[in-house]
Amino acid sequence: MTTRTLTVPPLLGLAVSAALSATTAPALAQPTPMPMPIEAPPPPPPAAPPPSAPPASAPPAAQLVGPSPEPPAPAAPPLTRPTVALWAAGMAVVGAGAATTFGILALQNKNEYQIHPTFSNSDNGNNFAAYADGAIALAVAAGFTSLVLFLTNDPSHDAGPAASSGKSPSATLSTSPFVTPHGGGAGAILRF
């Protein structure tokens, strides 16, 4: 009886990392500082000489020649909901492409294994199949995230009309995908 250890595919790790980054973790308590030995304070730095007066024949500021200061660069616009949804859709396409590539490699390796059954062929085929599974999980999670972001409304944009009319929304629906070591799914919260 042999025991095989499968490595976690890198893309599955990325999918789990992306899912976990969407959740907030409780803050950890700060460790208590170790008492420091008391030392004598360092001596004060030597006194600086007084600044000298500017020369009397200095040209006025308007006559100075040199490059003009550049205006400050405009601030980058904040990420919007459609932008993040498009990034998630792009990740879904990349995941689907990787899943297809690794799936084809796994099928080719299966054919090689049937012709020349070796442990190396078996391990390579299993690894390609695991990478294909991880890429499929990434594609599904990113695609679902993109779909949710496209189909749900941004509450910060909806707050203006609701506040001006004096009525609060009757219900809000929050959805999010999740990935576990043995599967994945979606969660939803409906608030009244």
Mean pLDDT by 10 residues, the chain (192 residues): 53 58 54 62 69 58 57 73 88 95 93 88 90 95 91 64 51 77 78 62
The DSSP call for residue 103 is H
Main-chain dihedrals φ then ψ at residue 187, nearest 5 degrees: -120, 150
- Strand 172-180 vs strand 183-191: parallel, antiparallel, or unpaired? antiparallel
| pLDDT for position 162 | 47
| pLDDT for position 44 | 72
Which residues, in sequence order, are CB contacts of 168 under 8 Å at separation 6+?
162
* Distance set, CA 192 to CA 123, 134, 164 (Å): 53, 37, 20
Q: pTM above 0.85?
A: no
| pLDDT for position 176 | 81
| pLDDT for position 37 | 62
Q: Residue 147 is encoded by which pair of tokens?
A: 């779909």
